[in-house]
Structure 1
Amino acid sequence: MISVKVVSKSTGKPVSGKRVQLGFEGNWLPGGMSSDERTNSEGEAHFDNDPGKGIVYVDGSNVHKGDLRGRVVVYI
């Protein structure tokens, strides 16, 4: 499982209602995209995907590239 926590840069508080999606890198072909998940009242979105390398998108914008495992915190 991968959890993404979305935090506001200006307030430092969690942001609810944001659309989060994960894009995974593959060895030879693109690894695919996760389903869309919305952040909850604590700013968290949870994914039932295996860990790996990839990109976190929030409302369609690339906000993180790198390891996707455990909990990933992103600032918007």
Structure 2
Amino acid sequence: MITVKVVSKSTGKDLKGKRVRLGFDGNWLPGNLSADEYTDSNGEAHFDYDSAKGCIYVNGSTKYRGRLEGRIVVYI
């Protein structure tokens, strides 16, 4: 499982309701993208995928590129 936690850069608070999508390097899925997930009250979006290389999009903007595994915190 891959968990993405979205945190505000300015306040340090968890951000609820942000649209998160994973992009995978290689031929993982059609278009190499996961389905959209939205952050919960803890600022977390959960994806049922094993680890991979790729990127994280939050509200359509790339916020992280690298190894996708475990829990990743992104600041916006």
CA distance in 1, matches of 2:4, 2:44: 6
Corresponding residue for residue 45 of structure 1: 45
| Runs of 4+ with >3 A deviation | none
Deviation per CA, 1:22-67, whole angstroms, max 9, x where unpaired?
A: 00001xxx43111100000000000001111100000000000001
Number of residue pairs matched?
Answer: 73
Name stretches of at least 5 consecutive residues in structure 1 with no aligned partner.
none
Corresponding residue for residue 18 of structure 2: 18
Corresponding residue for residue 71 of structure 1: 71
Counterpart of 1:43 in structure 2: which amino acid?
A: G
CA distance in 2, matches of 1:52, 1:11: 30
Name stretches of at least 5 consecutive residues in structure 2 with no aligned partner.
none
Residue 54 of structure 1 contacts residue 68 of structure 1 at CA under 8 Å; is this kept in 2? yes
Residue 34 of structure 1 contacts residue 49 of structure 1 at CA under 8 Å; is this kept in 2? no
Identity, in percent, stands at 63
SS of 1:12's equivalent? coil
Residue 52 of structure 1 contacts residue 69 of structure 1 at CA under 8 Å; is this kept in 2? yes
Corresponding residue for residue 36 of structure 1: 36
